[in-house]
Amino acid sequence: MTIVAVVLLLISTAPAAASTGGAFTAAGGPPPPGSPSGAPATETPSTGALSLLSAQATPRKSFFYGFRYPSVRFAIASTQAQNDLQIDVVNTAGEVARSFYRNDVEPKVEVRIRWDGTTSEGRPARNGRYSFRIEAQGATTQPAARASTSTAPLSLGFALYGYAFPILGAHDFGGAEGRFGAARSGHTHQGQDTMAACGTPLVAARGGTVQYSGYQGAAGNYVVIDGKGSSLDFMYAHLAEPSPLQTGEQVRTGQPIGIVGDTGDATACHLHFEIWTAPGWYEGGSPIDPLPYLEKWDRYS
């Protein structure tokens, strides 16, 4: 209850900071909003000799605008009853992507920080490994280390990626006829075909707003997603069944969007995938070659 009171106090006294909390919401099972970043203590920050009783970062891998934000739960030991803490998200080069502040934290009380994957400037953070760093506000010394009284393992690291590979199963990128720009009767191929068994689950490579979900003679069952925090739109075609997504709905990165099929103008089970530049799919944008993107996502998914 103490933590809740502290957070509410921060929101009521620091509206500017609260507005940077990254409170994404989505229809149909949204995660709770991201933690407010908070603000540093207004008076001189005060912290006793600080150490960590426990710290657990979860999950090990997350996606920007995904179902589960990276989060850390921790409890401190301190020689002081109330401690002003700074929690940084740092990359492997030691650069700080985002900072959070929690004031008047008591020893042995669990604190939870959730990161929405955006930098201090509000942009999606780069792909890679990160860790949470917990220290006293204004500290020029080392971050808090394990308390000598604690045997709990400290786990502060995780990975964050901007995109998920859209096919959850065996797949291959096929031959020349499936490439972007391949000749078709009367036009050129606007996407990349990726072969996979009918029924293989598909997920959103990047979440955002469902721009269109429906059926068309050539595309079969298809869905178009306007990517959150991205200028790109993503189109998935030939789904075996209509996508469960409705036009206008919010979808998270990695969220199921349907299954591989061969509806519409298709001779085999595969995903036809398009990427469109701003302002978007049939909104004045242009299709670009998705294969380099798919290959990159495939390497880390």
| Choice between 116 and 193, CB closer to Zn ion | 193
| Choice between 134 and 195, CB closer to Zn ion | 195
| Choice between 140 and 185, CB closer to Zn ion | 185
- Please answer whether residues 37 and 99 qualify as being in contact, where contact means their C-beta atoms are separated by less than 8 angstroms: yes
Tokens describing residue 179: 């490439």
Minimum Å distance from CB 189 to Zn ion? 6
Three-state SS for 47? coil
Minimum Å distance from CB 182 to Zn ion? 8
| Choice between 10 and 195, CB closer to Zn ion | 195
Long-range Cβ pairs for the range 289-295 (8 Å, 24+): 289/179, 289/180, 289/181, 289/192, 290/180, 290/191, 290/192, 291/173, 291/179, 291/180, 291/192, 293/163, 293/205, 294/165, 294/166, 294/173, 294/192, 294/194, 295/173
Q: Report the residue closest to Zn ion, judged by CB.
A: 272
Minimum Å distance from CB 241 to Zn ion? 18
CA distance 136 to 177: 59
| Choice between 88 and 193, CB closer to Zn ion | 193
Minimum Å distance from CB 191 to Zn ion? 5
Residues making contact with Zn ion (CB under 5 A): 193, 272
Minimum Å distance from CB 271 to Zn ion? 8
